[in-house]
């Protein structure tokens, strides 16, 4: 699906939400942004991401899907990392299994070195692609809201992963919190007005 097709799909879906033909949905993501799901099918999805005033998690992670992201307001800095096995490394890998809204973190029994290799600046109106299994973190602009429209194509037999310092506190399961109806409707309107 092209970027224009993804944008057109998002406009139609959000228009349906705002017209009352679809229920609004927005979820507080563990990486400190709001996710507004637009389309979910086996193997493919589209959602909007909303960050407020530069708030974000600095967790380095990888996805089980190819990511295409269009920055529609604000700016995103995408930092890409090389993560290599290292018995004396200062970090360890965790595999993430998501069931419904629950994320469970399982140690991968691998210590690693995590090194920044590239920093990319993406202002509003630009897009970027990140292949599945690439380690990164996304940092929103420091002022105001940052909005992105993301499409994802899932790869079979690949899991999401996060990098954590060795001997850090145990990683407990995290439940993604669904936001109340008025908030979800407001976020849908915010995204639609930017598209």
pLDDT (0 to 100) of residue 55: 73
Closest residue by Cα to residue 102 from 178, 25, 20: 178
Which residue, 195, 184, 193, 194, is CA-closest to 34? 184
Evaluate whether the domain defined by 3-194 bears CATH number 1.10.10.10. Answer: no
Looking at the predicted structure, is the pLDDT value of residue 54 above 70?
no
What percent of the chain is modeled with pLDDT above 90? 80
Average pLDDT on 107-112 reads 93
Instruction: Give me the chain's average pLDDT, please.
Output: 92
pLDDT for residue 30 is more than 90: no
Task: Give the predicted TM-score (pTM) of the model.
Answer: 0.90
Q: Is the pLDDT of residue 82 over 90?
A: yes
Mean pLDDT along residues 151-168: 92
The token pair at 120 is: 């990319």
Q: How confident is the model at residue 141 (pLDDT cuts 50, 70, 90)?
A: confident
């Amino acid at each position: 699906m092209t970027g224009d097709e993804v944008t057109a799909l998002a406009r139609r879906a959000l228009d349906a939400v705002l017209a009352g033909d679809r229920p609004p949905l927005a979820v507080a993501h563990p990486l400190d942004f709001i996710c507004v799901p637009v389309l979910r099918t086996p193997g493919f999805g589209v959602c909007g991401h909303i960050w407020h005033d530069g708030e974000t998690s600095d967790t380095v992670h990888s996805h089980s899907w190819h990511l295409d992201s269009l920055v529609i307001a604000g700016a995103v800095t995408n930092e890409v990392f090389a993560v290599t096995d290292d018995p004396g490394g200062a970090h360890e890998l965790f595999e993430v299994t998501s069931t419904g809204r629950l994320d469970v973190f399982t140690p991968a029994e691998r210590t690693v070195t995590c090194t920044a290799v590239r920093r990319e600046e993406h202002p509003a109106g630009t897009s970027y692609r990140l292949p599945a299994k690439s380690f990164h973190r996304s940092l929103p602009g420091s002022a105001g809201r940052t909005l992105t429209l993301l499409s994802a194509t899932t790869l079979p037999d690949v899991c999401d992963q996060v990098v954590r310092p060795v001997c850090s506190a145990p990683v407990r399961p995290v439940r993604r919190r669904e936001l109340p109806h008025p908030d979800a409707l407001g976020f849908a309107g915010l995204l639609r007005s930017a598209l």
